[in-house]
């Protein structure tokens, strides 16, 4: 993010009422320098209030008098920003945007509201400045003239949901503390030198080189495995520590924000500096500027300086320019816009599901055989001019049912909705059901076919819709009809191995050298030596056919020894990819979930996909089992230590579900579970998660919106 313009009719000083950086259509000044004085100081603070995100303004130690504004009734601040993709928005949303906020002082503290019309910027997209707890969007930071570092008290785990506000605190509060330099360098060293993580390697290398070159720091030992940064930091001269502190603070926040970038210090952002010449001796100020300029090549700096420091500012830095993001103006269709089709067209609407919808493909084949035009729509997309609308809803989730109702409100009697999500009894007529699917309805299928060879299942599992919808297992098609000349098959069969012809089907697949995705999983307990040998000959794959994967299910503890024996017959090793879908939230306890995961971890090559039970239409609710026992904490401690070679996002979703259930039972969070959830992903959301007890409580008024 870059700041292009800021304005406020409520500013006390004229210098702060309207400000624009020097720029043209392609570039803007990297360093913008302002003379010190109350007007420039007010301008920096207005920019900080605008950029930190309106939910966090109340976290800053702003003098109530400063919020009263020139008229005594509050502040209205408008701004023009340049946004960068992908961090500040997707590519079509990058470019210039306008926004603002209104701050009203009250007895209970500042009341802050977004104000999208606070700046006159016609034909410029508006930016709603609600940033949540995110750290990378609209990245900016402000540093006051006096900096005091944390000493063993820094929060590197984002336990504070208002952590974003700490980036700006020193501009308003001289007592606010910034990054603990020794602790930060030790963490960076651990990730870079000991773990070899690319962002840390890149950042530590650049810091050591440039701190040595510009400030003369002795960093020779910083790359050694046993480096003690508490000792290294204290060995520096006091002026070196003070001069390096702003650079380390900015580097720390950029690493936090851009932790998925290989080069986090190369990312764009805005830094507001009040009298940065105070961070180092006067004679070293040009070196300090050169350090910041080289260390953060894409950062925009807005600084206030006294006349003497302005005279010492290096010309090379002052002549630097930054390239503005050249994102296109928004071209997305207006939300709620209605597409139009030629009269007589039949719309086929896929309500939900990630896979192409087989029922709609069969309908498409039938309608086109009658010479009618069809048009595929997804979600609750609305299409005008349709002769009829056939919608297929697979799941009975609230989101899917809301989409159906929105379509019904749009199309009225022209809508026919079916599928297991809305009506188990409404089926395609036999003459349509028996047709081969129109695979061309979904061009993204490419060389993949999709469909059923068999339907039904002999078991009557209470959580499953198949017994009521499909009945017993039976043959419904053959490979030639499904493939239509293609060589890859997404097979939707409910329980293929339960069919008497399973061996012949697998043998046919192997002889044709087909790649097959058994997307609904296989029942590994039904394998014998002959079937296992046939299955190993089939080229099993994931749905995108990018790698070999075997899919099985393990919904409870039934028949574990049979599973182990079948697994042995398949001869899997640690180089195989064997996914087991494990349902949770129906009739298993925490202890049983733990036993399943412990069992799967003992199988070479196996990993887990955790799937939450969702009641099907007319299906049972989970039985009232005591999920936790007296050893719940011990079970969770063991659970989070079970690591698979492939840890899927589904496991994190299970941890979050388990955490909420734990809160409901015990009224507190399990610390080890929280640590595991936020070890790698969405770390900046930890504070909000803790403050709201995993989202089960509202956020307290003193920590956020």
Give per-residue burial for 35-63: e unless 16+ CB within 10 Å, then b. ebeebbbbbbbbbbbbbbbbbbbbbbebe
Whether 536 and 388 map to the same domain: the answer is: no
What does the angle CA 685 – CA 132 – CA 17 come to, to the nearest 5 degrees? 140
Average pLDDT rounded to a whole number, residues 85-112: 81
Query: Is position 48 within any domain?
Result: yes
Range of the domain at 454: 446-587+599-630
As given in the structure block, the two tokens for residue 324 are 């503005």
- 450 and 420 within one domain: no
Strand 177-178 versus strand 269-274 pairing type? unpaired
Q: Is residue 139 part of a domain?
A: yes
Cis, peptide link before residue 86, omega less than 30° from 0: yes
Q: CA 529, 530, 534, 540 torsion: positive or negative? A: negative
Q: What is the pLDDT of residues 145-188, one digit of tens each?
A: 999 999 999 999 998 888 889 999 999 999 999 999 999 999 99
The structure tokens 């296989």 sit at 522
Which tokens in the block code for residue 675?
A: 């640590």
- What average pLDDT score do residues 218-233 get? 94
At 332, the pLDDT band (50, 70, 90 cuts) reads very low
The pLDDT tens digits for 607-651 are: 999 999 987 777 778 888 899 999 999 999 999 999 998 767 899
My answer on whether 89 and 204 are in the same domain is yes
CA dist list (Å): 137 to 85, 131, 315, 327: 10, 7, 31, 16
Residue 223 lies in a domain: yes
Task: Name the E strands within 8-137.
Answer: 18-20, 27-29, 31-35, 75-83, 95-104, 111-114
pLDDT at position 133, please? 55
Q: Token pair for residue 143?
A: 């540093």
Element (H, E) at 582: strand 578-584
- List the 374-378 sheet strands across, edge first: 374-378, 346-350, 388-392, 415-418
- DSSP class of 277: G
704, pLDDT greater than 60: no
Q: Return the axis-axis angle of helices 198-215 and 181-189, rounded to nearest 10°.
A: 130
**Where do the H-state alpha helices sit in 139-237?**
169-172, 181-189, 198-215, 229-235
**Nearest CA-CA partner of 597 in 540, 559, 551, 635:** 635
Of the residues 269, 289, 323, which one is the last residue of a structural domain? 323
CA distance 209 to 214: 9
From residue 684, give the alpha-carbon distance in Å to each of 3, 588, 608, 677, 678. Answer: 24, 32, 27, 12, 8
Q: What is the mean pLDDT of residues 517-526?
A: 96
The number of domains in the chain is: 3
- One domain for residues 113 and 40: yes
Give a yes or no: residue 462 inside a domain: yes
CB contact set of 454 (below 8 Å; sequence gap of 6+): 473, 474, 475, 476, 493, 494, 495, 496, 499, 505
Query: Both 460 and 550 in a single domain?
Result: yes
- Contact between residue 600 and residue 580 where contact means Cβ atoms under 8 Å apart: yes
pLDDT at 383: 86
Structure tokens at 358: 């087989």
Identify any residues that bridge with 303 across adjacent strands, giving them in sequence order.
33, 273
Q: How confident is the model at residue 327 (pLDDT cuts 50, 70, 90)?
A: low
The beta strand positions in 47-187, using DSSP E, are 75-83, 95-104, 111-114, 140-143, 148-149, 177-178
Whether pLDDT at 699 is above 80: no
- Average pLDDT score over the chain: 91
Instruction: Examine the domain organization and report whether 209 and 358 are in the same domain.
Output: no
| pLDDT surpasses 80 at 340 | no
Provide the whole-model pTM: 0.83
In a domain, 87, yes or no: yes
pLDDT digits (tens, 9 = 90+) for 246-270: 999 999 999 999 988 999 999 999 9
CA distance 479 to 492: 13
Question: Same domain, yes or no, for 286 and 421?
Answer: no
- The DSSP annotation for 224-265 comes to STT--HHHHHHHS-HHHHHHHHHHHHHHHHHHHHTTTSS-GG
| pLDDT for res 334 | 44
Q: What is the maximum span of the chain, computed from C-alpha positions, in angstroms? A: 91
| DSSP at 430 | H
Write down the pLDDT at residue 91.
53
Residues 405 and 456 in one domain: no
The domain that holds 233 is classified in CATH as: 3.40.50
Q: pLDDT digit string (tens) for 264-299? A: 999 999 999 999 999 999 999 999 999 999 999 999
Higher pLDDT, 205 or 459: 205
User: Residue 31 forms beta bridges with which residues?
Assistant: 301
Judge if 459 and 535 occupy the same domain: yes
| Domain-located, residue 455 | yes
Contact 222, 201 (CB under 8 A): no
Read off the CATH number of the domain in which 415 is found. 3.40.50.280
Q: Does 307 lie in the same domain as 234?
A: yes
- At 330 the pLDDT is 43
Q: How far apart are CA 293 and CA 474, in angstroms?
A: 71
Rounded average pLDDT over 60-74:
87
Evaluate whether residue 667 is within a structural domain.
no
Answer yes or no: do 424 and 451 share one domain: no
418 or 329: which leads in pLDDT: 418
Residues 137 and 272 in one domain: yes
**677 is a domain residue:** no
Tell me which of 378, 399, 432 is where a domain ends. Answer: 432
Q: Of 432, 457, 473, which residue is a domain's last?
A: 432
């Amino acid at each position: 993010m870059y700041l292009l313009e800021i304005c406020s009719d409520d500013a006390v000083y004229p210098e702060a009422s309207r400000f624009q950086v020097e720029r043209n259509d392609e570039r803007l000044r990297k360093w913008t320098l302002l003379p010190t004085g109350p007007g420039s100081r007010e301008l920096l603070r207005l920019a900080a209030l605008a950029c930190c995100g309106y939910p966090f303004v109340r976290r800053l130690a702003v003098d109530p008098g400063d919020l009263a504004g020139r008229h005594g009734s509050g502040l209205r601040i408008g701004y023009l920003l340049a946004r960068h993709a992908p961090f500040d928005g997707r590519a079509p949303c990058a470019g210039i945007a306008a926004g603002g906020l209104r701050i009203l002082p009250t007895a209970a503290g500042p009341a802050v509201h977004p104000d999208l019309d606070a700046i006159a910027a016609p034909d410029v997209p508006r930016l709603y400045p609600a940033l949540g707890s995110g750290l990378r969007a609209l990245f900016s930071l402000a540093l006051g003239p006096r900096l005091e570092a944390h000493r063993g008290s820094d929060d590197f785990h984002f336990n504070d949901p208002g952590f974003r506000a700490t980036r700006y605190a020193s501009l308003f509060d001289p007592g606010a503390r910034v990054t603990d330099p020794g602790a930060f360098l030790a963490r960076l060293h651990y990730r870079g030198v000991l773990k070899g993580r690319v962002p840390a390697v890149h950042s530590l290398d650049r810091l050591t080189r440039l701190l040595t070159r510009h400030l003369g720091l002795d960093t020779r030992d910083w790359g050694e495995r046993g480096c003690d940064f508490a000792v290294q930091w204290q060995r520096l001269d006091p002026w070196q520590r003070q001069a390096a502190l702003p650079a380390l603070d900015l580097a720390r926040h950029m690493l936090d924000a851009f932790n998925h970038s290989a080069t986090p210090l190369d990312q764009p952002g805005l830094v507001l500096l009040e009298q940065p010449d105070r961070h180092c001796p006067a004679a070293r100020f040009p070196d300090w500027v050169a350090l910041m300029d080289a260390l953060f090549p894409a950062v925009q700096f807005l600084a206030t300086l006294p006349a003497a420091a302005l005279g010492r500012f290096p010309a090379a830095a002052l002549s630097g320019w930054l390239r503005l993001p050249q994102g296109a103006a928004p071209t997305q269709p207006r939300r709620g816009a209605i597409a139009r089709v030629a009269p007589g067209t039949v719309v086929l609407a896929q309500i939900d599901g990630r896979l192409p919808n087989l029922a709609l493909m069969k309908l498409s084949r039938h309608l086109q055989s009658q010479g009618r035009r069809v048009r595929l729509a997804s979600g609750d997309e609305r299409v005008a001019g349709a002769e009829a609308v056939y919608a297929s809803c697979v799941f009975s989730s609230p989101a899917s049912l809301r989409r159906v109702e929105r379509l019904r409100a749009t199309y009225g009697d022209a809508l026919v909705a079916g599928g297991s999500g809305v009506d188990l009894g409404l089926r395609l007529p036999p003459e349509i059901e028996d047709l081969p699917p129109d695979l061309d309805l979904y061009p993204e299928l490419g060389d993949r076919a999709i469909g059923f060879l068999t339907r039904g299942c002999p078991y009557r599992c209470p959580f499953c819709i198949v017994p009521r919808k499909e009945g017993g297992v039976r043959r419904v098609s053959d490979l030639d009809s499904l493939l239509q000349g293609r060589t890859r098959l997404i097979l939707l069969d409910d329980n293929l191995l339960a069919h008497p012809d399973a061996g012949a089907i697998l043998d046919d697949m192997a002889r044709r050298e087909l790649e097959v995705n058994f997307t609904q999983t296989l029942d590994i307990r039904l394998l014998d030596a002959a079937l296992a040998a046939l299955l190993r000959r089939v080229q099993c794959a994931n749905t995108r056919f990018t790698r070999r994967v075997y899919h099985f299910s393990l919904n409870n503890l039934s028949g574990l020894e049979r599973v182990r024996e079948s697994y042995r017959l398949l001869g899997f090793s640690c180089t195989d990819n064997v996914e087991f879908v494990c349902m949770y939230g129906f009739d298993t306890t925490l202890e049983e979930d733990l036993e399943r995961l412990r069992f799967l971890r003992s199988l070479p090559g196996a990993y887990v996909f955790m799937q939450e039970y969702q009641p099907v239409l007319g299906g049972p609710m989970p039985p009232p089992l005591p999920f936790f026992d007296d050893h719940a904490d011990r079970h969770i401690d063991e659970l989070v230590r079970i690591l698979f070679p492939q840890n899927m996002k589904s496991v994190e979703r299970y941890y979050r579900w388990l955490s909420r259930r734990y809160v409901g039972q015990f009224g507190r969070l399990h610390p080890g579970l929280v640590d595991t959830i936020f070890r790698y992903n969405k770390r900046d959301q930890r504070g909000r998660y803790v403050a709201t007890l995993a989202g089960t409580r509202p956020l307290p008024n003193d920590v956020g919106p």
